[in-house]
Amino acid sequence: MSKLNEEVKKELASFINSLDVVLTPSDLRAPKDLFFDSGLVVFEDSLVGVDEVADCLAEEKRKVFLLDNEYDDYGFLKALIEANEKGQWLIVDCKIDPSPQMISILKQVSDRNSFTVPNFNNQELFSLKINSNTRIIFCIESKLLEKITYPSFVNLFGPVIRI
């Protein structure tokens, strides 16, 4: 049973919808190059968690990944690739300060909806263009958010919602 009240559910639905439909240029110099954003959900209430966010999407449309190991770049990448192949939304339950590699991926996705990483999948450079049906949502507790070492972490995302 959802722990969210109706108002918060509406806000979350609006957040999901804006992630789904809104495209913006990452730089005003190229206004025709439109990209979708990643989203950030900040839990102010410790009783609320990633399940409430996941429930906003149909099961076949989402993939949840638990990020609780800062060295698990591989796990994060693998989950993203799998979600991307199926056009699913990747919902990341973030329990740690993300690694530099993860930050780099999020930044690249934010800038151009694609990314390149070295030494993955037996490739010197592995590149992936994000499926237009795929989105990334990071879910994080507000106390952890304050401890994230990358100072522009919130700027990696478009819509941000606090629940």
Sites of contact with another protein (CB under 8 A) = 25-33, 69-75, 78, 97, 99-101, 103-104, 107-108, 111-112, 116, 118-119, 121-122, 124-125, 127, 149-152, 155
Of 12 and 140, nearer to another protein (C-beta) is 140
Of 7 and 118, nearer to another protein (C-beta) is 118
47 phi, psi to nearest 5 deg: -80, -15
Of 84 and 108, nearer to another protein (C-beta) is 108
Cα within 13 Å of Cα(146), Cβ side: 4
Tell me the C-alpha distance between 47 and 69, whole Å.
22
Residue with tokens 């507000």: 142
Of 54 and 102, nearer to another protein (C-beta) is 102
In whole angstroms, how close is the CB of 110 to another protein at the nearest point?
A: 10
In whole angstroms, how close is the CB of 50 to another protein at the nearest point?
A: 21
- Cβ–Cβ < 8 Å for 44, 163: yes
Of 101 and 133, nearer to another protein (C-beta) is 101
In whole angstroms, how close is the CB of 103 to another protein at the nearest point?
A: 5
The DSSP string of 109-163 is HHHHSEEEEEEETTEEEEEEEPPTT--EEEEEEHHHHTT-SSTTGGGG-S-EEE-
In whole angstroms, how close is the CB of 143 to another protein at the nearest point?
A: 19
Angle between the N-to-C axes of helices 73-86 and 100-112, in degrees from 0 to 180, rounded to the nearest 10: 30
- Cβ–Cβ < 8 Å for 77, 27: no
In whole angstroms, how close is the CB of 65 to another protein at the nearest point?
A: 13
